[in-house]
Structure 1
Amino acid sequence: MAKLIILLSVLLSFTVHGATWRITYPKPMSESDKRSNYPVKLLSLALEKTGVQYSLMPSERIMLQSKALKRLMDSRDVNVVWSVTDKQREQQLLPIRIPIYKGLIGWRLLLIRDDMPARFQYVQKLEHLIKLIPVQGRDWPDTKVLQANGFNVTADNSYGNLFNLLRRAQGDFFPRSVVEIWDEIDNPAYNADLMVEKEIAIRYPEAMYFFVNKKSRPLANLLEQGLEKAIADGSFEELFMRTFQDKLNRAKMSSRHVFELENSFLPSVTPLERKELWYQFDDLASGSEK
């Protein structure tokens, strides 16, 4: 009954003329964790495009992604979470099917120990890479993608501990998206004894969306409307490029050998046909391999 009263009060606050939409997202894991910066800016942009009054704030408590998604399902503590999509998550939650990173979350570079670059020089085929062990979050959809493509993954619940697993040689590489890896390698909290491998990239089709509770259709419609307006007037693209252009240049993707993986967990309704929603690298190495 208490949950129902809270949900009704939230919905009423959305329908009263002039009311403020209260948007709560998961609090970052630490002050040095910058992964929330861009999604929060994009949320703010989308809400501004709708013209509504809103407040945008982190949750009171830090939550692992699995806990944040569970809280969202239960309409507790948060009412929007951004996450990589898969079939299960789209059954449990309501996605706004606009990939907030324009698909770059599926373009992966390899974080490795700084004594390992010579080992990766011998990786010429996907079958060579599969013999090495990636580390990954236990509840991340990427873990299932890697396993389905033949990798033996070392997993952990703690984001911060994944760097320690790599450092302790409990895995050989940590595949990170091209938009995440540079903040991590520049961060003293994570980068000790680690480096970005210079020759290899992994790519698979993947989207990160904003998700809301299944019953929060008004909020989903509001965010979708705002995002579509930002796409139409170019402000989405402007924010995206302002945030990531330097990181994309730094990746030097055209000189990398790109290994293509399959993602059988991607829902069939993913808007792959909308080319404006996906970033395209103009020039890729000719050695791309499936």
Structure 2
Amino acid sequence: MTFSFNVVKLFLICCLFGLQTAYSSLKIVYPNIDGIGAESIGYSVLKLALEKSGQVFDLSVYGPTVNQQRARELVEQGQLSLFDTGFQVGLEQRFDPVYLPIDRGILGWRLFIIHKDNQEKFGNIKSLKDLQQYVAGQGKGWGDIVVIENAGIKVKTAGKIPSLIKMVGGKRFDFFPLGANEVYSFLEKFGGSDPNLVIDTNVVLVYPYGRFFYVKKGDTELANLIHQGMEKALSDGSLQKMLETHKYFKDAFTRAKLKERVRIDIETPNLSEGFKNIDDKWWFKP
């Protein structure tokens, strides 16, 4: 009888340990890029995906403010769990991408922060040839740089968004293309006190693009959890609802007025097979 009781007790302990292991909290550290870590759409989508995955998790934001380049280094060093950024084919060599666009490709619909003195000039743009007369600004390490340069547009770079917006006001370059989802809120947050800064109302620059999560090479557990959770969030409508209500995203569906703009389409060079194979259901169509 004692033997049987001990066997049952051991069995229950093993089961309990197995359950604790299966439901143990997964620690995930997200980067604080440009100081808006927990406010960013990437953080919000990550949290939603993890909730939909069913995994118990502990999600936190890395303390210091970092740019994209530093975030990548910290993921490789294991201090960060992942980062999200616009598509770059070269990143596949350093990280494992989750090829589901967290923004449904809206990051590839670009509106421009410009100096108010240039409103008339940009209001007369009708084609890519017209736009090629002007110089764009982009953040160091951003995937958009190669796309914009490939279209024959010159690009100047700076380390952080606040610096780029100040450079527009100082006429260091002519326009700062940002996603239709972010351009209004970023201008208000980082450049709202400068009366010389406005958002062009005429053009939308469009290219195949998207924002994706990238995890450390070999971290299939986290990549799979994000993939599963995002698929569920798209299927049940919660992802789209989040995009339409998020403070750094909702403007794409309201203030941007994408259908009313002069649309200039350019190509995204060197798309990877992973990008090309993304199901069409993921892409935004106005």
Instruction: Report how far residue 158 of structure 1 moved.
Output: 2.5
Matched, 1:48 2:55: no
Provide the residue aligned with 1:124 in structure 2: 126
Structure 2 unmatched runs, 5+: 1-19
Map 1:138-177 → 2, pairs under 5 A:
138-177=140-179
Aligned AA for 2:22? H
2:28 corresponds in structure 1 to 23
What's the counterpart of residue 104 of structure 2?
A: 102
1:240 aligns with 2:243: yes
Report if the CA contact (8 A) 1:184-1:191 is conserved. no
Instruction: Give the letter for the 1:275 counterpart.
Output: D
Quote the Cα distance in structure 1 between the aligned partners of 2:146 and 2:190.
Answer: 29
For 2:44 and 2:64, locate their aligned partners in 1 and report how far apart those are by CA, in whole Å: 20
C-alpha contact (below 8 Å) 2:33/2:68 kept by paired residues: no
- Is the contact between residue 110 and residue 175 of structure 1 (CA under 8 Å) also seen in structure 2? yes
**CA deviation digits over 1:239-277, x for unaligned, max 9?**
222334444221111111011111113213215652221
| C-alpha deviation, 1:65, in angstroms | 0.6
| Whole-angstrom distance in 1 between the partners of 2:178 and 2:251 | 16
Residues 45-86 of structure 1 show CA distances to partners (whole Å, capped at 9, x for unaligned) of 1111122211111112221111101211232x2101111122
Report the structure number with the largest CA radius of gyration.
2
**Quick one: structure 1 residues 27 and 273, their matched pair in 2 at CA, closer, same or farther if it must change by over 3 Å?**
closer
Aligned with 2:60 (options 57, 61, 71): 57
Q: In the comparison of the two structures, how many residue pairs are matched?
A: 264
**What are the within-5 Å matches in structure 2 for residues 205-284 of structure 1?**
205-243=208-246, 244-271=249-276, 274-281=279-286
Gaps of 5+ in 1: 1-14, 282-290
Greater share of helix residues, 1 or 2?
2
TM-score w.r.t. the length of structure 1 is: 0.85
Asked if structure 2 preserves the Cα contact closer than 8 Å seen for 1:182 and 1:247, the reply is: no
1:74 equivalent in alignment to 2:71: no
Q: Deviations over 1:179-221 (max 9, x none)?
A: 1101023226456121110111100000111110012111111
- Cα distance in 1 for residues equivalent to 2:62 and 2:250: 30
TM-score, normalization by structure 2: 0.86
Kindly indicate whether the alpha-carbon contact (under 8 Å) linking 2:105 and 2:283 is maintained by their aligned counterparts in 1.
yes
Quote the residue 2:17 is aligned against. Answer: none
| CA RMSD of superposed structures (Å) | 1.9
SS at match of 1:171: coil
Distance in 1 between residues matched to 2:191 and 2:107, nearest whole Å: 22
| Counterpart code for 1:92 | R
Q: 2:184 aligns with which of 182, 185, 188?
A: 182
Cα distance change, pair 143–188 in 1 and its aligned pair in 2 (3 A): closer
Instruction: Determine the C-alpha separation between the residues in 1 that align with 2:85 and 2:192.
Output: 22
Q: Map 1:193-204 to 2 at 5 A.
A: 193-204=196-207
For residues 121 and 50 of structure 1, do their structure 2 counterparts lie closer, same or farther at Cα, with a shift above 3 Å needed?
closer
